[in-house]
Amino acid sequence: MKSEQIKKIGIAGAGTMGATFAHVFAESGYTVVLQDIAEEFLERGRKIINVNQNNLVKEGLLTEDVVKESHTRLSYTTDINAFEDVDFILEAIVEKLDIKQEFWAKVSRLVKKSALMASNTSGLSITQIAKDIADKSRFAGMHWWNPPHLIPLVEVIKGEETSDETAQSLIDLARKLNKKPVLVKKDAPGFIGNRLQYALLREALHIVDEGIATAQDVDDAMKYGLGFRYAGLGPIETVDLGGIDVFNNVGSYLFRALNNSPEIPKKLRELYEQGLYGIKTGRGFFDYSGGKGEEALRKRDAHFVRMLKCLYKRSE
């Protein structure tokens, strides 16, 4: 199916990601059915949608009229049979391989024979998720980044049997939403974004662990140096602009000084074992108690909105 033929979209899972997908698609004119396993989860989805849309209106990225219209195109259900007539289904249910496999075994048999199918898995194998799907050529990974209504990147991942046509249609679909899609040609763990993120995280924690700098200074080095640069220039282009000779010479002594341990970094494991999960428990590497967590989220989203306005024209 070509992206132009996609009119009705099914979203499975009304959580952080799924609920947001539902309003993003509905705002772009698609008819959307949002499904979850129980009414209470749909209610949580409605709240997520309202909070997101209110913020987008406040920031001038969305109008009240578009919000109102989007609600006329959006329905909520606990019945998977509602996916029978969708053209595309995007799954954002819990990140457990067996649950995703069970979901797709059922749902791939009830959707139209032409419908495209995708999982928003963070890193599970697309090929394994598709294990019990009869026509695997119409199934791919479509990995958005949180918060998905603000971050432009969408990774489209080919499983072993995903057709080129399916991957291309999903890339085209993402572009219609003003997103910036990239194609992951091989089903490799972590796709592109998470491979880069975890390579960087390993070194960031190593720097702290070795006493080279504090966590705060590592984050600042990223935000005001590399992060600032990377919003406009990829790491590979950076080499061309800086000089292959320069990067070759620095690389000749620096690569060997970097951490290449396959283990989970010590401090990450320690915090995990202490039940300090970050914002959700009030403490991680930093302190989020007494309203500091809400403030951190507010600052994050305000920053992303400003970046979005500067770098990409979203709502036109």
Ligand X SMILES: NC(=O)c1ccc[n+]([C@@H]2O[C@H](COP(=O)([O-])OP(=O)(O)OC[C@H]3O[C@@H](n4cnc5c(N)ncnc54)[C@H](O)[C@@H]3O)[C@@H](O)[C@H]2O)c1
Instruction: Using CB under 6 A, pick the residue from 32, 49, 56, 92 that binds ligand X.
Output: 92
Does the active-site annotation cover 122?
Answer: yes
CB atoms within 10 A of CB 308: 19
Q: Which listed residue (93, 140, 177, 305) binds ligand X by CB under 6 A?
A: 93
Rounded to an integer, what distance in angstroms lies between the CA atom of residue 139 and that of residue 162? Answer: 6
- List residues bridging with 221 in a β-sheet: none
Window 13 to 42, contacts with ligand X (CB under 6 A):
13-18, 35-37, 41
Is 263 labeled as catalytic in the residue annotation? no
Q: Is 178 a catalytic residue?
A: no
Nearer to ligand X, 151 or 271 (CB): 151
Least CB distance to ligand X at residue 17 (A): 3
> Token digits for 80?
């998977």
Catalytic-labelled residue, pool 3, 122, 125, 178: 122
How many amino acids of this chain bind ligand X (CB under 6 A)?
22
Which residue among the candidates 194, 203, 259, 315 is catalytic per the annotation?
194
Q: Is 143 an annotated catalytic residue?
A: yes
- Going by C-beta distance under 8 Å and a sequence separation of 6 or more, which residues neighbour residue 32? 8, 9, 10, 11, 22, 25, 26, 73, 74, 75
Contacts of 169 (CB under 8 A, 6+ apart): 1, 2, 3, 6, 116
* Token representation of residue 213: 């700098």
- Tell me the sheet residues that pair with 118: 90, 140
- The single residue among 53, 70, 121, 169 that binds ligand X, judged by CB under 6 A, is 121
- Under rule CB under 6 A, residue 99 binds ligand X: yes
Helix (H) or strand (E) holding 220: helix 215-221
Residue whose CB is nearest to ligand X in the complex, by number: 15
From the list 70, 108, 120, 169, which residue makes contact with ligand X (rule: CB under 6 A)? Answer: 120
Active site amino acids: 122, 143, 155, 194
Kindly list the residues in this chain that would bind ligand X in the complex (CB under 6 A): 12-18, 35-37, 41, 92-95, 99, 103, 120-122, 144, 146
